[in-house]
Structure 1
Amino acid sequence: MSDRKIRLTCPDCGQTNQFPADKAAGNPKCGVCGQGLNSGKVAALDLKTLEKAAKTDDLPLLVDFWAPWCGPCRAMAPEFERAARNLAPQVRLAKIDTQSHPDAAIRYTIRGIPAFILFHKGRELARFSGARPAAELERMVREKLALV
């Protein structure tokens, strides 16, 4: 058994949770609100939670910057959900609505949507833009993570 710990931010309440690394694949629960932390589902974030997760989480986080009025964003949603299931439990996927959270687009210099940023251990590793199939998104994420 490994003594290594993993930190993950709860997408629902924003609490930082820490647990043994060997439990990451078992969808650990938040110690405050009880929500799953690594369920393979896309989590909706606000700017504060996104900033915290991008800065402190130990698992890679791929974030979709989108808006409800954006046709390509809506078309991309099922592909992003599919990628979330396929990349779990090694990578978490989340989304942030840039219409409801315009400061997120400003903070991360988002110039067009859909846009994707891959964060890992406090660093931005990559950016992708435009709607694409889940398999292509997964391949791009895996290639970027192989380099770190």
Structure 2
Amino acid sequence: MIIACPECAGLNRVPNERLKQDPKCGKCKSSLFNGEPVTLNTANFDHHASKAELPLVVDFWANWCGPCQAFSPVFSATAKELEPQFRFGKLDTEAQQTIAARYGIRSIPTLMIIKNGQVIAQQAGAMPPEAFKQWLSQNG
């Protein structure tokens, strides 16, 4: 499986049986899974969304959005729990307007699962932890 590094966005080939054995990036030697959402931007988004084979769960958010702030701990806790089944990433729609426009983000928070460059699920609005995990299990 091709995995993008959360630090340098370098692409790494990792056998499925090694995903839970703390694999390291061949380029920067960072851990490929640190249990934290990746901050997505124009420099690393396509590596995680299109070139990596791990499903990417994106939280499209903004700093001024109350529901986004309330959902952030749920997203982070779920990332810690479910990685490496998914890669979790946060995209600030104010700072990354081009990417938000590419995906037609009209309301925030918007959650999206992207695999091999294709959106496979999308949900507008924050969710409680169990509903979020159920949504991921149904769509991942």
Same fold by TM-score greater than 0.5? yes
**TM-score normalized by the length of structure 2:** 0.92
The root-mean-square deviation of aligned C-alpha atoms, in Å, is 1.4
1:123 and 2:115 are equivalent in the alignment: no
C-alpha distance in 2 between matches for 1:97 and 1:33:
25
| % identical aligned pairs | 36
Cross-structure match for 2:13: 18
Of residues 22, 29, 52 in structure 1, which corresponds to 2:24?
29
**TM-score normalized by the length of structure 1:** 0.87
Of residues 101, 106, 114 in structure 1, which corresponds to 2:101?
106
Q: Encode CA deviations 1:113-139: one digit per residue, 9 max, x unaligned.
A: 111110123321000111111221111
Q: Which moved more, 1:113-122 or 1:35-44?
A: 35-44
Of residues 1, 7, 20 in structure 1, which corresponds to 2:2?
7
Equivalent pair of 1:39/1:89 in contact (CA under 8 Å): no
Of residues 87, 93, 110 in structure 2, which corresponds to 1:92?
87
- Between the two proteins, the alignment pairs up a number of residues equal to 140
Q: Encode CA deviations 1:70-120: one digit per residue, 9 max, x unaligned.
A: 111111110001111222221111111111111111111100111111012
Of residues 125, 128, 134 in structure 2, which corresponds to 1:133?
128
Task: After the TM superposition, list the runs of 4 or more consecutive aligned residues in structure 1 that deviate by more than 3 angstroms.
Answer: none
Unaligned runs of 5+ in 1: 1-5
C-alpha distance in 2 between matches for 1:8 and 1:17:
5
Cross-structure match for 1:143: 138
Unaligned runs of 5+ in 2: none
Cross-structure match for 2:42: 47
